[in-house]
Chains A and B, each alone.
Chain A
Amino acid sequence: MEVMKTYKMFIGGAFPRTESGRYYELTNPKGEFVANICRGSRKDFRNAAVAARAAQKSWAGKSAYNRSQIIYRIAEIMQQRKSQFVEELTKLGYTAAKANKEFDAAIDLLVYYAGWCDKYVQVSSAVNPVASSHFNFSIPEPTGLVSVIAHQDGPLVGLLQAFVPAIVGGNAVVVLASEKYAMSAVSLAEVLATSDVPGGVVNILTGFASELAPIMASHMDVNALVTFGLDRPLITSIAEACADSVKRLRIHPDIPTKGSLDLIMELQEIKTTWHPIEKISSSGSAY
């Protein structure tokens, strides 16, 4: 007899069940039982936010080259488990061809973003020619702790678009996976756990967006909230809740089909640094 997997969440590098003890049932298109999925709670989100905050500083402090290799490593490990990801999708009604296509696109996306880690700073920085005798430069820095509501229709590409740009840029994330494609998300978490991604940098919750989005929006230690495919009334209410901590709110109606620098940059803050330049000779010096 086959051993079935318990689908758990991914918090701080570990795989706990939801503290709430709640679940929802995943069925295939015929209505047959496929798996029980954790229905994450407010407390689960708070735990994940604590783990993410703790992990963010050292993640951002790693060299860009190192982050780049770690994200590339995710693609390597994921590639090895292709059959598992394809099977989970076909269980939910995907044809093999469609599942393969989704998987290949996901791998391509990881490789694309891996290459951005040591480049986005270069293409978005500036040395500013100020009129006074100062060296003045502007660079992007991670906004910090990002929470994300992934798109409901995105098993792999949608989930990766939800969190990879954030970690490319040195943020730590808590992402709520698609309700329907929670199995793929948990399997991806298992890939992350074995890909040298430090625990807490990516935390993956499963559950209901309608329940967790307002909690993410009102959490005072979250710097940014990114949403994919939420409906208008919910966006309005979370936009209001975001005011309390002046949270950055990024709204995406659809899953971006291609990787993009914009998704990295929307979770960056521009920092400008000034330093005087000694001016004792008549020739002067400036940048």
Chain B
Amino acid sequence: MGNQTNWNWDPAPESTDHVKIKEQYQLFIGGRFVKPANGEYFETVNPANEKVLAKVALADAADVDKAVKAARKAYSNVWSKMSGAERGKYIFRLARLIQERAREFAVIESLDGGKPIRESRDVDIPLVSAHFFYHAGWADKLEYAFPNKKPSPIGVVGQIIPWNFPLLMAAWKIAPALACGNTVVLKPAESTPLTALKLAEVIKDAGFPDGVVNIVTGDGGTGEAIVNHPGIDKIAFTGSTEVGKKIIRATAGTNKKLTLELGGKAANIVFEDAALDQAVDGIVEGIYFNQGHVCCAGSRLFVQEGIAEKLFRRLKHRINQLIVGDPLDKNTDIGAINSKGQLKTIQAYIKQGKKEGLEMFQPEIALPKKGYWCAPTLFFDVAQSSVLAKEEIFGPVLAIQTFRTVDEVIAKANNTPYGLSAGVWTDKGSKVFNLTSQLKAGVVWANTYNKFDPTSPFGGYKESGFGREGGVHGLEAYLNLN
């Protein structure tokens, strides 16, 4: 004793002293920060310690109406009349300003949403600026994307985004909309409004004409007001399939265009001939990236029988190394669950798995006392009929099944109403293409997982929604093509 080496990692916290968070945030309408009509505010909480970060304006229908009018005015008077080249310059400028303030954005993203700083710093925020930079260049080249067409903007678009990638989803929505000549009313998620409000500051700094981008914070009621507003020409929504269906019904019979990026329950398939260590990392990347709060998470793992025992051993070993804790610590792998409500949802699924008598594995780790936390969880031998295999959990819970043949695993993988993404691991090229062509999903990762890029279209089949975001194909969602 006494001489034993301590193999624990020392804390490596990211500094927060350069980060400015105001006590109270207003709505961003018509280029100004304005108080909400009803004077109501809600609190946004750091899920890692349950402390209130700021108070944020709660927009009601009257505020949304104001935002839509500001967007319409900006569209008719300025933005739709501006040349594509000029529009592009504003967007390029925005991309650069975000790069300059990237670390501040990353820290706030981790504070407000609970994701590890390693992810917000290395994935979310770089992709945000990349997304604006990529789309900026499209603004004066749209006719090259659609030969034989005359692309024109749609008008005012209402955009509603989720809490899992707050600023990245804002970028996915705003960048193509602006590049295509539309103006925007965006509603960030209730639990993660801060980076979108910081983005509003940067949009102001970039000198965008007033009303081109309007940001209205609030709850489900705010989103409903956007969906039902007659002055909006198009709704773009990312979120749950349940809410997506409500939006389809609400916009039925109207002339509103619609694109939806909804839930998923992706199959991640590992064949006997896969490079095992890479596959194990891919499984971890697939389900534990962003605490599993990922619509395209590889939440159903299919392992070919011959390697199952070996792979499970390595997977458990790998999960035992994952560091769960302070999102601002640079060594953290798994941060805080985004909200109390989401934690309860995840815990209910874990309870259900135990009730079904499934074999469960969690590493023996001490979770912080304060805040919302969930250990990475594996369930083995999950039946196709189990809710763990059927429903989107949106947390760090992996449902594992085994399989014998290629046909069997394709049938099982496709046996879901979702179709957002899928993964396949094999060293055999012909098998890769057999699988990638047969899996009914909008994004298929072969020998990799959870990779994103602004040039790469993203979106689902079946109940995972319709329309694409990113790449040439994503532009179509924001244009009239005649």
Contact = CB atoms under 8 A, between A and B. Distances in A.
Interface of A: 123, 126, 128-132, 134, 136, 138, 141, 143-144, 223, 232-233, 235-237, 239-240, 242-246, 248, 262, 269-276
B443 interface: yes
Contacts of B456: 128, 130, 136, 138, 272, 274
Nearest to B452: A130
Contacts of A246: 241, 244-245, 248, 260, 262, 462-466
24 contacts: A126-B457, A128-B455, A136-B456, A138-B473, A144-B440, A223-B462, A233-B253, A236-B252, A237-B252, A240-B253, A243-B248, A245-B417, A246-B245, A246-B466, A248-B466, A269-B461, A270-B473, A271-B436, A271-B461, A273-B436, A274-B443, A274-B444, A274-B456, A275-B446
Nearest to A245: B463
B249 interface: yes
B447 interface: yes
A237 B444 CA distance: 35
Contacts of B228: none
Closest 7 CB pairs of A and B: A236-B253, A239-B252, A243-B248, A130-B453, A128-B455, A240-B252, A243-B245
Interface string B202-227: 00000000000000000000000000
A243 B253 CA distance: 12
Nearest to B463: A246
Nearest to B458: A272
Given A239-B252, A240-B252, A245-B417, A126 B463 contact: no
Interface in B299-344: none
B451 interface: yes
A123 to B, nearest CB: 8
Interface string B227-269: 0000000000000010011101101110000001010000000
Contacts, number: 110
Given A272-B442, A274-B446, 10 more contacts: A126-B473, A128-B456, A138-B472, A232-B253, A239-B251, A246-B262, A269-B461, A272-B456, A272-B458, A273-B444
B152 interface: no
Contacts of B249: 240, 243
Nearest to A239: B252
Contacts of B154: none
A128 B432 contact: no
B245 A138 contact: no
A242 B241 CA distance: 13
Given A131-B453, A274-B444, A243 B252 contact: yes
Interface of B: 130, 147, 241, 244-246, 248-249, 251-253, 260, 262, 417, 432, 436-437, 440-448, 451, 453, 455-459, 461-466, 468, 471-473, 481
Given A246-B465, A275-B447, A270 B455 contact: no
B417 A128 contact: no
A245 B241 CA distance: 10
Nearest to A265: B476
Contact of A270 (B248, B417, B468): B468
Given A243-B245, A246-B241, A248-B466, A130 B455 contact: yes
Contact of B442 (A236, A242, A269): A269
B443 A272 contact: yes
Contacts of B463: 245-246
Nearest to B432: A275
Nearest to B130: A131
Contacts of B465: 246
Contacts of B466: 246, 248
A138 B469 CA distance: 12
A275 B130 contact: no
Contacts of A248: 466
B48 to A, nearest CB: 29
B394 to A, nearest CB: 18
Contacts of A274: 443-446, 448, 451, 456
Which residue, of A237, A245, A271, has the highest number of chain B Cβ atoms within 10 A? A271
Contacts of A130: 451, 453, 455-456
Which residue, of B251, B260, B456, has the highest number of chain A Cβ atoms within 10 A? B456
B137 to A, nearest CB: 12
B421 to A, nearest CB: 9
Contacts of B455: 128-131, 136
